[in-house]
Amino acid sequence: MSAVPATRRRFAIVVFPGSNCDQDCYHVARELLGCEAEYVWHRDTDLKGADVVILPGGFAYGDYLRAGALARFSPVMETVARFAADGGPVLGICNGFQVLLEAGLLPGAVRVNRGLRYVCRDVHLRVENTGTAFTRLYRPGEVVTMPIGHMEGNYTAPPETLTELEHSGEVVFRYCDPEGRVTDEANPNGATAGIAGISNREGNVVGLMPHPDRSAEPLLGNDAGRKMFESAVLALAAP
Amino acid sequence: MRVEVRVYPKEGVLDPQGKAIASALGRLGHSSVTDVRAGKVFFLEVRGEDPVVVEAETRRMAEELLANTVIEGYDVRVRPEA
């Protein structure tokens, strides 16, 4: 890769109608990391020279039909798919994760939470794979805390896909208790095998239900999520 | 013509809404209910003469958008008379 200083890395924050965490992500990239950041409207097909693409949380298209189902047909998604296919780092957070699932950039689907309620609270996560573009600054097995806020986070996939995910290390985060044990009590939404986040085989596309963008600075009481953004910048420097 | 598309959780896929409705029905005294799966129905008005062609096109719509075939099944009913 080129020798561009890490701080000159450019983030593209995709904005769908109904995205509401776009400014949080922009703030992390620009103010906390000192990188460049641009909003990219969902109708645009130009990522403006971005090195990292973030699909932020929110309720794209009002979550009509299914969360993420309509957003995947936005013009920008074809560009994002090409960017991902070329190895570009793409992170989908919460609703952004749902968009990646609907778009087929990550396998599986989310159902409504098993408790049938919107769940908004901090959860503990065990870092299962530190080889992805967004997790290489974590320690394997590290337990971190991030907030969740979603109605449909109950991850599932066909049995053969789940086996594949487990065998190839594509499970990136699992809900766990403070000691790192993956238990049913620690699972906020019923997700299969406590899966909170996954990656593609290559590790450049990552999606998760929890919000690293809402836990990226001490001012918010928690900066555990900051390393996801920093990892992407590092991954670019040393792929 | 009128086309109806039913989309529902696949057999074996956990359906939290269906489960909650089933237990509510039980609480209301409908003890005969043993299982509920909750889905949705789309009523489409589609231009076309040939019901076979319309059905085939509607099935593509279901695959592409109306259903998430990872977790949902669907069926299509064309009603030329409607």
Q: What is the pLDDT of residue A2?
A: 44
In this prediction, residue A235 has a pLDDT band, given cuts at 50, 70 and 90, of confident
| ipTM score of complex | 0.85
* Cβ neighbours of A190 in B, within 8 Å: 14, 16
Q: Could A111 and B66 be called an inter-chain contact, meaning their C-beta atoms sit closer than 8 Å?
A: no
- Element housing A58 (H / E): none
Residue A96 lies in a domain: yes
Whether A187 has its CB under 8 Å from any CB of chain B: the answer is no
With bands split at pLDDT 50, 70 and 90, how would you rate the model's confidence at A5? Answer: low
- Min mean pLDDT across A7-11, A86-90, A101-105, A137-141 is at A7-11
- Note whether B16 contacts A109, CB cutoff 8 Å: no
Record: contact B16-A115, CB cut-off 8 A: yes
pLDDT of A9-32, one tens digit each?
A: 999 999 999 999 999 999 999 999
Whether the CA torsion A170, A173, A175, A179 is positive or negative: it is: positive
The answer as to CATH 3.30.1280.10 being correct for domain B2-79 is yes
* Average of per-residue pLDDT values in chain A: 94
Return the HEC string of A31-66. Answer: HHCCCEEEEEECCCCCCCCCCEEEECCECHHHHCCC
Which one-letter DSSP state was computed for residue A194?
G
- Residue A46 is predicted with a pLDDT of 95
Q: What is the mean pLDDT of residues A40-69?
A: 95
pLDDT at A127 over 60: yes
- Looking from the CA of A233 toward its CB, the CA atoms found within 13 Å total 22
Q: What is the pLDDT of residues A151-210, one digit of tens each?
A: 999 999 999 999 999 999 999 999 999 999 999 999 999 999 999 999 999 999 999 999
For chain B, the domains span 2-79
Q: Do the domain assignments include residue A116?
A: yes
Structure letter (DSSP) for residue A203: S
pLDDT tens digit sequence for A131-141 = 999 999 999 99
CA gap A193, A190 in Å, rounded: 9
Of the candidates A14, A4, A53, A9, the one whose C-alpha atom is nearest the C-alpha of residue A205 is A53
pLDDT score at A8: 76
CA distance A6 to chain B (A): 39
Task: Tell me which residues of chain B have a C-beta less than 8 Å from any C-beta of chain A.
Answer: 9, 13-17, 20, 65-66, 68, 70-71
Q: Residue A152: give its domain's CATH number.
A: 3.40.50.880
In a domain? residue A1: no
Using the beta-carbon criterion (under 8 Å), do B71 and A154 form an inter-chain contact? Answer: no
Quick check: helix, strand or coil at residue B70? coil
Q: What is the pLDDT of residue B12?
A: 84
Shortest CA distance from A156: residue in chain B: B71
Across the A:B interface, residue pairs with CB atoms under 8 Å apart total 36
Q: Is the CB of B16 less than 8 angstroms away from the CB of A108?
A: no
Nearest residue in B to A107, CA atom: B70
Contact (Cβ atoms closer than 8 angstroms) between residue A16 and residue A27:
no
Cβ separation A109–B17 shorter than 8 A: no
Residue A86 within any structural domain of the chain? yes
C-alpha to C-alpha distance for A137 and A214, rounded to whole angstroms: 18
Residue range(s) defining the domain that contains residue A97: 6-237
Q: Is residue A17 part of a domain?
A: yes
The pLDDT value recorded for residue A3 is: 47
- The pLDDT, as a whole number, for residue B82 is 67
Q: Which residues pair with A11 in a beta bridge?
A: A37, A52
Statement: residue A223 has pLDDT above 90: yes
Number of domains composing chain A: 1
Task: Decide if A97 is inside a domain.
Answer: yes
CB–CB contact A112 B16 (8 Å): yes
| Nearest neighbour of A116 by CB, restricted to B13, B16, B71 | B16
Say whether pLDDT at A59 is over 90.
Answer: yes
User: pLDDT per position in chain B (82 positions), as tens?
Assistant: 999 999 999 988 889 899 999 999 999 999 999 999 999 999 999 999 999 999 999 999 999 999 999 999 999 999 987 6
Q: CB-based contact (8 Å) between A115 and chain B? A: yes
Contact A44, A75 (CB under 8 A): yes
In a domain? residue A122: yes
**Amino acid in the structure at residue A214:** R
